């Protein structure tokens, strides 16, 4: 019985935050809020989740069996490395059965450019409670659409 309790609590958390390298903080009078919130079941046939200003996409066979992906706005975790300034809220992407993953998800994340003084210095940082922050390698950036693309 004890092991089933542990299995039920096993959830993959991917906490991501936008930050500016060497920035001096968010601009005053920022535009509309960016929201990341939603959930969906992703099947082995592929599919996606639109969670406000964030999209998670799984290709066929990225999961062995159905998983529930939940996306939530969260406060930016403490401990952002020196020289980085948070931009907006963070997002927590949770997968309820991580052992069913077979590939990386594609993640497209919008940001509020009114909070960013220099988009060339924008980065996405992944936060792990045990290891702290690390930069996420972006697959692409569309400054016209205020969008970054990366894989989990």
Reply yes or no on whether the pLDDT at 150 is more than 50: yes
| Separation CA 73–CA 38 (nearest Å) | 10
Model pLDDT, residue 113: 84
Q: Write down the residue that tokens 């996306």 correspond to.
A: 71
Shortest CA distance to 114 belongs to which of 17, 53, 26? 26
Reply yes or no on whether the pLDDT at 20 is more than 50: yes
Enter the pTM of the model: 0.80
Q: Cα–chain-centroid distance for residue 130? A: 18
Model pLDDT, residue 47: 92
Q: Write down the residue that tokens 């998800």 correspond to.
A: 105
| Separation CA 137–CA 9 (nearest Å) | 29
Cα angle 23, 29, 122; round to 5: 30
Give the residue ranges of DSSP H helices in 2-121. Answer: 2-9
Q: Which two tokens stand for residue 39?
A: 């959930």
pLDDT in tens, 97-117: 999 999 899 999 988 888 887
pLDDT in tens, 48-98: 999 988 999 999 999 999 999 999 888 888 888 888 888 877 889 999 999
């Amino acid at each position: 019985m004890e092991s089933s309790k542990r299995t039920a609590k096993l959830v993959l958390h991917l906490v991501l935050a936008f930050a500016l390298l060497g920035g001096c903080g968010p601009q005053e009078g920022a535009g509309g809020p960016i929201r990341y919130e939603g959930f969906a079941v992703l099947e082995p046939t592929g599919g996606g989740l639109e969670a406000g200003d964030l999209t998670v996409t799984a290709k066929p066979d990225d999961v062995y069996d159905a998983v529930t992906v939940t996306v939530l706005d969260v406060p930016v975790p403490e401990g952002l490395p020196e020289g980085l300034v948070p931009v907006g809220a963070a997002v927590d992407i949770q997968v309820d059965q991580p052992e069913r993953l077979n590939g990386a998800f594609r993640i497209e994340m919008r940001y509020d450019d009114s909070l960013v003084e220099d988009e060339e210095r924008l980065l996405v940082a992944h936060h792990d409670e045990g290891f702290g922050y690390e930069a996420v390698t972006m697959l692409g950036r569309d400054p016209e659409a205020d969008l970054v693309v990366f894989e989990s």
